[in-house]
Amino acid sequence: MPTRNLILVLGDQLDTNSAAFDDFDTSQDRVWMAENEEEATHVWCHKLRLVFFFSAMRHFRNELTDAGYQVEYHELSKQPSKDRGNSFSELLTNSVNRFHPEKLIVVQPGDYRVQEALQETAESLGVELEIREDRHFYCGIEEFNDWAAGRKRLVMEDFYRQIRKSHDLLMDDGKPVGGDWNYDKDNRETFGKEGPGDIKSPRSFRPDKITEEVIDLVEHRYADHPGTTEHFDYPVTRKQALAALRDFVKYRLHDFGEFEDAMWTERAFLYHSRLSAILNIHLLDPRDCVKAAIDAYQSGDAPINSVEGFVRQIVGWREFIRGIYWREMPKYIERNALRTGEVDVPQFFWDGDTSMNCVRECMKSVLKHGYAHHIQRLMVLGLFSLLAGVHPRKFHDWHMAMYVDAIDWVSLPNTLGMSQYGDGGIVGTKPYCASGNYINKMSNYCKGCQYNYKEATGDDACPVTALYWDFLDRHHEAFKDNRRMTFQVKNLEKKSDETLAAIRTKAKKLKEAVRNGERI
Write the burial class of residue 272 (CB in 10 Å: 0-12 exposed, 13-18 middle, 19+ buried): buried
Instruction: Give residue 469's pLDDT.
Output: 98
pLDDT per position as a tens digit, 285-316 = 999 999 999 999 999 999 999 999 999 999 99
Q: Can you give the pLDDT of all 520 residues of the chain as single tens digits?
A: 679 999 999 999 999 999 999 999 999 999 999 999 999 999 999 999 999 999 999 999 999 999 999 999 999 998 877 666 678 899 999 999 999 999 999 999 999 999 999 999 999 999 999 999 999 999 999 999 999 999 999 999 999 999 999 999 999 999 999 999 999 998 899 999 999 999 999 999 999 999 999 999 999 999 999 999 998 999 999 999 999 999 999 999 999 999 999 999 999 999 999 999 999 999 999 999 999 999 999 999 999 999 999 999 999 999 999 999 999 999 999 999 999 989 999 999 999 999 999 999 999 999 999 999 999 999 999 999 999 999 999 999 999 999 999 999 999 999 999 999 999 999 999 999 999 999 999 999 999 899 999 999 999 999 999 999 999 999 999 999 999 999 999 999 999 999 999 999 999 999 999 999 999 9
Q: Are 199 and 267 in contact (CB under 8 A)?
A: yes
- Running DSSP on this structure, what letter comes out for residue 73? E
Per-residue b or e along 348-371, where b marks 16 or more CB atoms closer than 10 Å to that residue's CB: bbbebebebbbbbbbbebbbebbb
DSSP state of 202: P
pLDDT at 109: 97
- In contact, 9 and 52? CB cutoff 8 Å: no
How many residues are recorded in the chain? 520
Expressed in percent and rounded to 5, the helix, strand and coil fractions of the chain are 50, 5, 45
**Cα 228 from Cα 219, distance rounded (Å):** 9
For residue 448, what pLDDT is reported? 86
Q: What is the DSSP letter of 403?
A: -
* Cβ neighbours of residue 341 closer than 8 Å, sequence gap 6 or more: 389, 391
Q: Which amino acid is at 66?
A: D
Cβ–Cβ contacts within 10 Å for residue 130, how many? 14
Q: What is the model's pTM?
A: 0.96
| One-letter amino acid for residue 217 of the chain | L
**Residues near 252 by Cβ (< 8 Å), separated by ≥ 6?**
199, 200, 202, 270, 271, 272, 273
Cα 376 to Cα 366: distance, rounded to the nearest angstrom = 10
Distance CA 324, CA 226 (A): 30
